[in-house]
Structure 1
């Protein structure tokens, strides 16, 4: 089309028809501009389509990460609740409440030695954030929730670090000093009875008389309550993000 306009323009110039020449020159310019605009529009459309595909892929991976986290969180919330009940029961027994079951006492004591913490599957979010591609997430609600979730992860990491120190100082050290853990563990996993393991109330006297251990139980009770609340908050935000993404798809 441009070649036709150019030929007509050249003929008009040769014939001395300046007005006709200018008209076709203008037409040629307009056609060039239209071609450029169409090329830019096609390029923008291709970029948007590529970004939409990338956003969909990232969001699908975020959902997979969060669903894995939900399974882990359900386990940890239940673990922490059981741990909290056991710790509080031990505190009551240290304070003078009668011990009616050596099996229960054994399991509660061994349970205080168990460490279970939450480590999020946030590799997709970190990839988005570290690569500067977080703006690929076009939904502002999802983006805000992901940022809030990342802050909760950071707080969780700090809580774990604090709890780990207290656990080692106030739970692990007294237990290692006053207990024969190898004697107690078969009862915990239900392969032996307290009678078969020759466990008596005296087996726990040194531990339950330890001020460090009691203080540790108090601290761990507080930490378990804090973790339960944090995990439930993380779970709620994760479920909301999954719901928004799946509604959008």
Structure 2
């Protein structure tokens, strides 16, 4: 600045007005260029900060999606095992061989378990509520995430439909049967039951009537085919989830 000031004084002192004006214009241009460079550097820094912030959200979404996929694998396996037992029980009902397969009907009681898939949507919801969500608008990842969360809604509705029906049937059964006998038959060892005043035949008859009731059969029959639908939806969600993970890896790698 001292050098520029000295040049200005010399030009003014020598009455070189035209040169001074050209010099002044040149100085203004330099200042403007300096400002533009500073703004560009600031923009680059801000873009870098925004990209890093978005990356943090994407890493969290990837982690949650992988967690979901592990849950899907576990719940799919569990429902498949129950569905297989319920299908055999349904066949036994149609063949009128229930009395020969009481153990099978005992195992089919797992159809009354009201467990369901619990996704972790924290990372996605955090991104949606942030200022960085717009950075993935109209991208393949945006479409995949929308598809993923649409499938979550469908799965939740399907599970709720089954669980509500099952709970309603179970509530009715609890008013019609002495569940202490049913639970004892199902969970207490035969040796222990022999020491009780209640005879084995009473336990057998109570359990036979319980599993032969319409509400019980309704639940295992519904599970026999609706679980297949659930498993198919879990599989579709898992496939989309893997695509989400792959797309996030691409974006992170490109950054």
Task: Tell me if TM exceeds 0.5.
Answer: yes
Question: Relative to structure 1, is the Cα distance of residues 171 and 226 closer, same or farther in structure 2, using a 3 angstrom cutoff?
Answer: farther
In the alignment, does 2:36 pair up with 1:37? Answer: yes
Matches within 5 A, 1:168-207: 168-174=167-173, 177-178=176-177, 179=179, 180-186=181-187, 192=189, 198=200, 202-207=205-210
State the Cα distance separating 1:47 from its structure 2 match: 0.9
Question: Relative to structure 1, is the Cα distance of residues 103 and 195 closer, same or farther in structure 2, using a 3 angstrom cutoff?
Answer: farther
Deviation readout 1:180-232 (Å, 9 max, x if unpaired): 34214427xxxx36996747653333234423333333333343122111111
Secondary structure of 1:117 counterpart: coil
Tell me if the contact between 1:103 and 1:193 (Cα under 8 Å) persists in the aligned partners: no
Q: 2:119 maps to which residue?
A: 120
Secondary structure of 2:105 counterpart: helix
In the alignment, does 2:129 pair up with 1:130? Answer: yes
Uncovered stretches (5+) of structure 1, i.e. residues with no partner: none
Question: Relative to structure 1, is the Cα distance of residues 79 and 193 closer, same or farther in structure 2, using a 3 angstrom cutoff?
Answer: farther
In 2, Cα distance between the equivalents of 1:193 and 1:234? 43
Question: Relative to structure 1, is the Cα distance of residues 124 and 237 closer, same or farther in structure 2, using a 3 angstrom cutoff?
Answer: same
Uncovered stretches (5+) of structure 2, i.e. residues with no partner: 195-199
Tell me if the contact between 1:142 and 1:244 (Cα under 8 Å) persists in the aligned partners: yes
RCO comparison, higher one (Cα < 8 Å, 6+)? 2
In 2, Cα distance between the equivalents of 1:196 and 1:173? 27
Q: 2:108 maps to which residue?
A: 108
Question: Relative to structure 1, is the Cα distance of residues 226 and 195 closer, same or farther in structure 2, using a 3 angstrom cutoff?
Answer: farther
Figure out how many residues of one structure are paired with residues of the other and give that number: 243
Tell me if the contact between 2:68 and 2:119 (Cα under 8 Å) persists in the aligned partners: yes
Deviation readout 1:54-78 (Å, 9 max, x if unpaired): 1222222112111211111111111
Deviation readout 1:31-69 (Å, 9 max, x if unpaired): 111111111111111111112211222222112111211
In 2, Cα distance between the equivalents of 1:106 and 1:202? 13
Structure 1 residue ranges (4+ consecutive) displaced by more than 6 angstroms after TM superposition: none
Calculate the TM-score normalised by the size of structure 2. Answer: 0.82
In 1, Cα distance between the equivalents of 2:111 and 2:32? 75
In 1, Cα distance between the equivalents of 2:175 and 2:238? 35
Q: 1:239 aligns with which of 235, 239, 242?
A: 242
Comparing 35-44 and 92-101, the one that deviates more:
92-101
In the alignment, does 2:92 pair up with 1:93? Answer: yes
CA RMSD, Structure 1 to Structure 2 (Å)? 2.7
State the Cα distance separating 1:137 from its structure 2 match: 4.0
In 1, Cα distance between the equivalents of 2:145 and 2:34? 42
